[in-house]
Amino acid sequence: MQTMPIRIFFALFLLVLTCPFTLTASELRTALVIGNGAYSSGPLKNPVNDATDMAAALKKAGFTVSLKKNAKLQEMEEAIEGFGNSLKRGGVGLFYFAGHGVQVNGINYLLPIGAKINKESDVKYQAVDANRILDEMASANNGLNIVLLDACRDNPFAKSFRSASRGLAIVSSAPTGTFISYSTGPGQVARDGEGRNSPYTGALLHYMREPGIPITDMFMKVRQKLRRETGQVPWELSSLEGKFFFVSGKSGLADGTAVLERKTAADDELQAERAKLEAERTNLRKEKELLEQRKVLEEERQKLETEKKQMA
């Protein structure tokens, strides 16, 4: 394996010292991405696509990503607990959810697949309290936390609820260094898109690729694009104390991003090689079984020939 040239090592080392909120954060970027669409009540066509594409974009931006599709309650809870355990002090934690979300008494809940909700009081036992994610982030003492909720759709259980609140409630407080984005404003409802992605996630994916845009400026562009094209107005809550870039600009920070991209490519290549070896192993196993069957058939054929000779 080729070793890293000493000049590149020192260049990256200096970047870590001088830019702790960008490159250092990149080295410690952790994300949990969940997309739920296969609901028995109010199925959604975009969330699984949204989550898949968001996970791919975050990997390119240097995140270690855990992706869950059409997750049930226990799977969501276990994934969130694992996400909290994997967060690193001083790093970046990102949680993304696409699917149904409801608010009950000012508390936001994210709906898993298979939730059995017959009345409003069932929600706290059948869904995930969104504050759980913030609690995990606060416990990790992260340098930066990002929560992206594409979940402000019509409540599929609205007829069973006493309250008539639509959309999600805006969180009044969050840990320092937190950025929360909702796909639309308080009490408003977002729609599924006509194409592969929802309008909100589609706009996010579009601007996340652009280098050198601070997260606050990026979401300003997202908001302008959505308001112009759909009338939907995303909402943000921020307690950030510095700048964060999904993709760094043309400065030396690009070298760090390139290193991460090469690492991701190497990981993908390794996975492909493992899959290839497993396929070869399967083929060899089948060939071995075939040879054994041929051997048995040959033995039976010889036995029959012997019996024929004895009868002649």
**pLDDT one-digit tens code per residue, 204-253:** 999 999 999 999 999 999 999 999 988 888 889 999 988 999 998 754 44
Which residue carries 């309650």 as its tokens?
73
Task: Specify the long-range contacts of residues 258-263, CB closer than 8 Å, at least 24 apart.
Answer: 259/12, 260/26, 260/27, 260/62, 261/60, 261/62
DSSP type of residue 72: B
- Token digits of residue 168: 């999600």
C-beta of residue 36 within 8 angstroms of C-beta of residue 99: yes
Highest mean pLDDT: which range of 4-13, 14-23, 146-155: 146-155
Highest mean pLDDT: which range of 17-31, 101-115, 141-155: 101-115
Architecture of the CATH domain 6-250: 3-Layer(aba) Sandwich (3.40)
Distance between CA atoms of residues 154 and 303, nearest Å: 74
Measured CA to CA in angstroms, residue 147 lies from 96, 240, 296, 308 at distances of 6, 12, 62, 80
| Per-residue pLDDT tens over the stretch 52-100 | 999 999 999 999 999 999 999 999 999 999 999 999 777 999 999 999 9
pTM of the prediction? 0.70
Nearest Cα neighbor of 218 from 181, 254, 165, 255 is 181
Q: What is the mean pLDDT of the chain?
A: 82
Measured CA to CA in angstroms, residue 199 lies from 57, 130, 136, 301 at distances of 16, 22, 29, 68
Rounded to the nearest 5 percent, the helix, strand and coil shares of the chain are 50, 15, 35
**Apex CA 235: angle with CA 141 and CA 37, to 5°?**
85
pLDDT of residue 173: 66
Mean pLDDT of 34-61: 95
Distance between CA atoms of residues 60 and 247, nearest Å: 9
Distance between CA atoms of residues 9 and 17, nearest Å: 13
* pLDDT higher than 80, residue 142: yes
pLDDT of residue 263: 59
Q: What are the b/e assignments for 64-80, b being 16+ CB within 10 Å?
A: ebbbbbbbebebbeebb
Q: Label residue 175 by pLDDT band (50, 70, 90).
A: confident
Distance between CA atoms of residues 178 and 92, nearest Å: 10
- Token digits of residue 11: 């260049």
Burial (CB < 10 A; 0-12, 13-18, 19+), residue 259, is middle
Q: Greatest CA span in the chain, whole angstroms?
A: 99
Backbone angles phi, psi at 197, to 5 degrees: -115, 160
* pLDDT higher than 80, residue 35: yes
